[in-house]
Amino acid sequence: MAQHFGLLFTVALLSAPPAFANSKTFVEGAFLFTSIILCLVILALSLALYSLGRRQQKLQRLRASFNELLSETQGVIAVLDRNLSLQNGSSSLKRFLKHEESTTVSAPLNLFADATANESINYRIKHHLRTDGSWNGTAWLYNGQSSEAFQLSIQAIQPDKLRAPVYLLYGQNISQLRRENEQQLQQQLRDSDTLLPNKKLFEEHLSMTIQSCDDHYPATAVMYIQLTPIFPEYPVAAPPDFNQLAMQVAIRLQQALPFKVLLARYQHDAFTVLVPPHLCNENSTIYVNQLAHKVLACFDQQEADNLSRALNVFIGISISPNDGLDAESIIKSAEKAAEKAAVQGKNSLCFADSASQFQAPDYLALEAELERSAKQGEFEVYYQPQMSISSNRIIGFEALLRWPSPFRGMLPPPTFMPLVEETGLIIRLDRLVFRKACEQVKLWQKEGLMRGRLALNISNQQFEQADFLSFMATVLEEHEVNAHLFELELPESIFNHPTIWLRERLHSLVRMGFKLILDNFGEGIASLTQLRQYPLHGVKLSSSLTKAIDQQEQQRNICATLIRLTGYLELNVAATNIETEKQAYLLHIMGCDSQQGYHFSKAVPASEIGRLLLREASLLKIKAVNE
């Protein structure tokens, strides 16, 4: 503007006539032009101030609109710095984070991967923002007391190259939507009355369980519980609502059944129970039979709510793979078995497999007889000699439990031990055997009949008892016998216990003087690493390995390898259930000198041990004469 003024002033001077080019005229002209310049400057300043005012008003309107958006939006909006610290945010976000309602805040915004707020995902988000300039996903916000899920979108905004970028966050709270979806899913997978898994969920669980079966746990079982209303011939009142009855049945079944099984409402008038593979071992028929009788016992005539007067309960049981290879066939087998049970009469059960059904009623009577015999001390201990093949001498004995049942005669362990283990009676019987064994060892020492050590089978249930060590020490002290006279044969299932606890317990037994033998080696989970890790003195080969070595070359190679490897670990190797001379000879040349089985002698009462030792002495004399 000053340049324009100078130009005008110059033009005016040049165009002025000489008559007026005096000093007075010059001053007046200069004053005039100066006034014009000042007016133009004032006009320019006014226009600039007006423009700035308009811009300020626009910024205030934008700020007001943004603040209104922050206060009224149902979602969450936030401005974050490059460290994801909250610079400003919507009212809903501030309320959730429990910040004061101020224009700006400055606090870290922590985003998590789940509702527990244990795994922060801030670093992952910042990495995406630096590389891609944006991030979209689901994150959880935690306010110190509760957490909510949000669907978030974060965009990087960089006004210019001189300033650090800021991030604009927008999101919606989806916690309620997630809860509604979960509730809807629950309604699809659970019965609305009892809240138990429904048919669809039960079948999915059963299918996955069948797929998880392997050589160690090959079976699973299904119980189909059919409810049938009882309609009196002359009802005195209206029949109860069936759904109400089903809810009562669900509560009663949940109280009776262990948590290890899956209970579902399969039909309007039927419940199903899935017994997992680890409960369906070789004794699955016994366990499922006991479980079914627990269910039937829930509906006796002595109940207060008269549920048994309104319903008949029939149970069908199927066990895979014998009764079906898939979920549909297993359930169908159980359902048909329940229909057969209905023919038998009120509150009965039926197995899909006829052989299992034939044995089922006997288990209850057998269990009652075992309990009575244990209380009355009717069990006996027999002793089987352990032989040294190289010397043809008895080098020890194994104590084996026998049950002279008043109703069934003398029964060997395989006929009753599975039921004893299932009922927990094994602990009482293990302790009974140890007491009787201590008495016998003390008597043999007096009579000069003691040979080597006496082997005792220790169940896993007995081994894990809190007072196991103190019990063993107390019994030894009571009978005044030394622990070095005993070998404890331990099952491989002891390796399921925590390593530190197991090592300390085994070392405690060794310090007491016991020799520790791993029973049934080669059949289960035990490895050579475990043999090195724990203070074991020997192993007893599984009979499943030795029974076919005289017929199968592969079995011979396996046995020879195991014996050689355990020898490298300086462990004694023994074999059991030897039935033929060829088996004994092959094991001997492989390096297994200690053997026992019917080929040498069956288990006999303590009274016959003297006769066995006399026969051994006579045989050794005959051998010496012949040599």
Residue 289 located in a structural domain: yes
Residue 30 shares a structural domain with residue 42: yes
pLDDT for 303 equals 53
Report how many domains make up the chain: 4
Q: Is residue 132 a contact partner of residue 126, using CB atoms and an 8 Å limit?
A: no
| Higher per-residue confidence, 280 vs 67 | 280
Residue that finishes a domain, picked among 36, 52, 69: 69
Residue 271 shares a structural domain with residue 321: yes
- The rounded Cα 439 to chain-centroid distance in angstroms is 44
Residue that finishes a domain, picked among 149, 179, 209: 179
Residue 447 shares a structural domain with residue 543: yes
Residue 231 shares a structural domain with residue 335: yes
Residue 372 located in a structural domain: no
pLDDT for 7 equals 47
Q: Is residue 393 a contact partner of residue 387, using CB atoms and an 8 Å limit?
A: yes
**Cα–Cα distance, 200 to 331 (Å, whole number):** 12
Residue 21 located in a structural domain: no
pLDDT for 544 equals 79
Give the Å distances, CA to CA, from 146 to 93, 124, 141, 173, 186.
Answer: 14, 23, 8, 13, 23
Residue 216 shares a structural domain with residue 170: no
Task: Give 8's pLDDT tier (boundaries 50, 70, 90).
Answer: very low
Helix, strand, or coil (residue 275): strand
Residue 444 shares a structural domain with residue 577: yes
Q: Which domain holds residue 565?
A: 377-626
Residue 492 located in a structural domain: yes
- Could you report the per-residue pLDDT of 321-372, keeping only the tens digit for each? 888 888 889 999 999 988 888 887 777 888 887 655 555 656 667 777 888 8
Residue 337 shares a structural domain with residue 206: yes
Q: Which two tokens stand for residue 116?
A: 């527990």
Residue 150 located in a structural domain: yes
Residue 462 shares a structural domain with residue 338: no
CATH number where 276 lies? 3.30.70.270
Task: Name which of 490, 483, 534 is nearest 513 in CA terms.
Answer: 483
CATH number where 479 lies? 3.20.20.450
**Cα–Cα distance, 338 to 344 (Å, whole number):** 10
> Facing residues of 167 across strands?
80, 156
Task: Name which of 178, 120, 119, 122 is nearest 154 in CA terms.
Answer: 122
Mean of pLDDT values over 136-149? 84
Residue 262 shares a structural domain with residue 213: yes
Rounded to the nearest integer, the mean pLDDT of the chain is 80
Residue 610 located in a structural domain: yes
Most confident of 146-150, 311-315, 461-465: 461-465
Among 12-21, 64-73, 108-117, 463-472, which stretch is predicted with the lowest mean pLDDT?
A: 12-21
Residue 456 shares a structural domain with residue 602: yes
CATH number where 79 lies? 3.30.450.20
- Could you report the per-residue pLDDT of 189-202, keeping only the tens digit for each? 677 778 888 888 88
Residue 446 has pLDDT above 80, yes or no: yes
Residue 227 shares a structural domain with residue 332: yes
The 262-267 sheet, strands edge to edge: 262-267, 270-275, 221-229, 311-319, 348-351
Residue 392 shares a structural domain with residue 495: yes
DSSP string over 371-415: HHHHHHT--EEEEEEEEETTTTEEEEEEEEEEEEETTTEEE-HHH
Residue 612 located in a structural domain: yes
Residue that finishes a domain, picked among 365, 396, 420: 365
Residue 127 located in a structural domain: yes
